[in-house]
Structure 1
Amino acid sequence: MIKRISIMMTFIMLTLFFAGCSKKDQEINRTSLKMDTVIQIKAYGPNASEAIDAAFTRMDEIEQMASANIVTSDISKINQAAGKEYVKVHPEVIKMLKTAVKYSKLSNGAFDITVGPLIKLWGIGTDNERIPTDAEIKSKLPLVGYSNISIMDGNNSVKLLKEGMSIDLGGIAKGFAADEVIKVFEKYGVNSALISLGGSSIHTLGKKPDGTPWTIGIQHPRKDNKQNYLGIINLSEQALSTSGDYERFFIKDGKRYHHILNPATGYPTDNGVMSDTIVIDSNIPDGNMLADILTKTVFVSGIDKGLKVIDSLPGVSCMAVTTDYKIYKSSGWKIQLDNLNPEFTMANRQ
């Protein structure tokens, strides 16, 4: 068994060029391990240091609420009470759950936060990763289904209707955190920053101090070398999220088993997509959270169904890469892809 787990920024590399040395342009760069991933923040301005401190504190608060790996979190309490009773939770958890359910409906279940039992069964990215039997997977499938999340708005309470169900917000909490960091920066008057949560969730606030956009390289999905880009894009005031079958996976008998599970089958998604990147304009509310959700939606739905979902959403665009090294774009993708790796070709949707 060959195993590769990456929590560092292995599939989105940032190439940043900075100018100026005044206090206004002073760069503050901090890195921390939070929310089970590496967080990197670069910010500029006289209040940048205080803003980053406050941002990390805010992320700690979110992790304490939303992590399924912290026994005292709201999500753990919901999971522990599955099939038994309602649990009163923080209003921000309600917001994440409601948003998740909304887009689960929109995607016909391609995105579903109730895959917790399947995630635990496979254990991908942990010391217990393995290939479950068909019987084991079939036994867990009845526990997967967003329609069995019951939310009582009046008192912010949640209940999972079947015992044994469990929620995992891994596909949404980082994006929510990035949205909250932007609010913190606005409070401190920071208008030039780049926030990277594990490399998979990125937000560009304003432009670089020299007035140019942020330059972001999207790594080749089948090469570890960080200089092997698929291509390079420029962003300003946008949220970006990427999902791929190379973030957490293991290989056995020549087959890749990755962490993005299909809620309908219980197996790692296998539809020819190996990565996709969502970009959302900053004027779209909760853009980072939506970007996180929609990357999973496209990955599980596949090129045709997934990009149709993206085409229906204003201010949202997507670029998806298939295992035959073809790149497909949503109708709204207008971003120039520079220095395209010659191994990849642009393809037209049918």
Structure 2
Amino acid sequence: MQTVSLAREAMATRFELVLNGSDPVRLRSAGEGALDEVDRQEARLSLYRATSEISQVNRLAAGTPVTVSPPVFSLLEECVRLWQSTGGAFDITVAPLMRAWGFLRGTGRMPTEEAIMAARAKVGMQHIRLDAARRTVHFEREGMMLDLGAIGKGYAIDEAVGLLRDDGVVSAFFHGGTSTCYALGRPPAFSGWRTAITRDELGAPAARPASPPPEDPAPARETAVTVVELVDASLSVSAVKGKAFESDGRVYGHVIDPRTGWPVQGAQLAAVVGPGATKTDALSTALLVLGEPEMDRLAAAFPRYGFLSVTREPDGTERIRATEGFSRLHAVRSRIDPDPHE
């Protein structure tokens, strides 16, 4: 059995791919094709590329309906469904709020109440019109913007994994920036890809395999929230730590609640496991916004997915809770127990 490892910078992060099989030349070719697919999706979806379909929509859709490709239109339809299912917690129109808070291209700043109100008027999937017959996108309000940052990596990974399957690859681990990963099949001689969800002070998420996956994988016990075992499944981890600033003794992170216009408070880390990276990517952001009290509702709406939440209580203590689907189906070594209410 041969192992081939590949990596590429894309979507402002590093994508890494490990493939196992008998023919390293064929594995490398398949892996390069998968990474090329990530590049193609970035060219279509990036908010920061002037030539992307999303940038074209952002420039023109307030004035006239804009035609997009079938894959992009299908993804936007999925974004609408996720927005509806999460009660607006997942919303790809949040970019005006990100800009108001200084997070779109910077590290953040405190906006005025007027700036927040003005940005909120430009946010909301209810102000987008998708015409399936014409495959067009139209904004009902000036200044609206689409930002697929909370779903783009997962979607790109799903599309790339589809190509790997078409090429006959049966064992691979693919991650984008360690925050979203997909485990294809099993690694040689192991029952699944063991992946640690770690954090630095309840912040920096990581979803990276131990290779080979030992019985008690790195990182060390004190840094791991849990270890999950994945087979033909995806894991996404979202956290508030990253871009942040302090004002009047309070820290404001880059994850904005599109319903209120303010950064998320309380929730520190959210993880979602399930059969597809597109949904786990989006739902991990939604869970971070909604918080642990809404986790049961998400689990009911998405029964094939498992959810985990880490919250910092006002007294500084750490609360970790997971749905039964997360704990029973995926947890290998954990500091959590299944939710007793399920």
TM range, smaller chain:
0.7 to 0.9
1:87 paired to 2:54:
no
Aligned partners of 1:113 and 1:34: how far apart in 2?
20
Q: What residue is the counterpart of 1:308 in the other structure? A: 297
**Secondary structure in 1 matching 2:133:** helix
Q: What residue is the counterpart of 2:122 in the other structure? A: 143
- 1:310 and 1:318 in contact (8 A); partners too: yes
Question: Which of 1 and 2 has higher RCO (CA within 8 Å, sep 6+)?
Answer: 1
The one-character-per-residue Cα deviations of 1:109-157 (angstroms, maximum 9, x if unpaired) are: 1111111111122232744621211111111111111011111112211
Aligned partners of 2:39 and 2:130: how far apart in 1?
25
The Cα shift of 1:248 comes to 3.2
| Matching residue's letter, 1:261 | I
**Alpha-carbon distance change, 137 to 152 in structure 1, aligned in 2, over 3 angstroms:** same
Q: What residue is the counterpart of 1:26 in the other structure? A: 2
**Alpha-carbon distance change, 233 to 28 in structure 1, aligned in 2, over 3 angstroms:** same
Q: What residue is the counterpart of 1:15 in the other structure? A: none
Aligned partners of 1:96 and 1:120: how far apart in 2?
23
1:185 paired to 2:194:
no
| 2:322 aligned residue (313, 319, 329) | 329
- 1:125 and 1:248 in contact (8 A); partners too: no
TM-score normalised to structure 1 length: 0.85
The Cα shift of 1:336 comes to 5.5
| Matching residue's letter, 2:146 | I
- 2:180 and 2:236 in contact (8 A); partners too: yes
**Alpha-carbon distance change, 349 to 136 in structure 1, aligned in 2, over 3 angstroms:** farther
| Matching residue's letter, 1:32 | R
The Cα shift of 1:71 comes to 0.7
- 2:61 and 2:137 in contact (8 A); partners too: no
Aligned partners of 1:127 and 1:108: how far apart in 2?
28
1:276 paired to 2:265:
no
1:293-304 superposed matches below 5 A: 293-304=282-293
The Cα shift of 1:335 comes to 3.7
Aligned partners of 2:190 and 2:201: how far apart in 1?
33
| 2:277 aligned residue (281, 288, 305) | 288
Aligned partners of 1:260 and 1:217: how far apart in 2?
23
The one-character-per-residue Cα deviations of 1:217-252 (angstroms, maximum 9, x if unpaired) are: 111341679642222222211111111111433344
Instruction: Tell me the matched-pair count.
Output: 318
| 1:318 aligned residue (307, 310, 322) | 307
TM-score normalised to structure 2 length: 0.87
Q: What residue is the counterpart of 1:241 in the other structure? A: 236
- 2:175 and 2:181 in contact (8 A); partners too: yes
Aligned partners of 1:183 and 1:101: how far apart in 2?
23
- Range that drifts further, 310-319 or 161-170: 310-319
Q: What residue is the counterpart of 1:102 in the other structure? A: 81
- Range that drifts further, 160-169 or 323-332: 323-332
Aligned partners of 1:128 and 1:249: how far apart in 2?
6
The Cα shift of 1:193 comes to 0.4
1:103-252 superposed matches below 5 A: 103-124=82-103, 126-127=105-106, 129-222=108-201, 227=220, 228-252=223-247
**Alpha-carbon distance change, 178 to 340 in structure 1, aligned in 2, over 3 angstroms:** same
- 2:323 and 2:338 in contact (8 A); partners too: no
The one-character-per-residue Cα deviations of 1:278-322 (angstroms, maximum 9, x if unpaired) are: 0103xxxxx110111111121111212233122232211111111
The Cα shift of 1:51 comes to 0.8
Gaps of 5+ in 2: 207-218
Gaps of 5+ in 1: 1-24, 282-286
**Secondary structure in 1 matching 2:51:** coil
Q: What residue is the counterpart of 2:30 in the other structure? A: 51
- 2:107 and 2:245 in contact (8 A); partners too: no
| Matching residue's letter, 1:40 | E
**Alpha-carbon distance change, 306 to 50 in structure 1, aligned in 2, over 3 angstroms:** same
- Range that drifts further, 224-233 or 38-47: 224-233
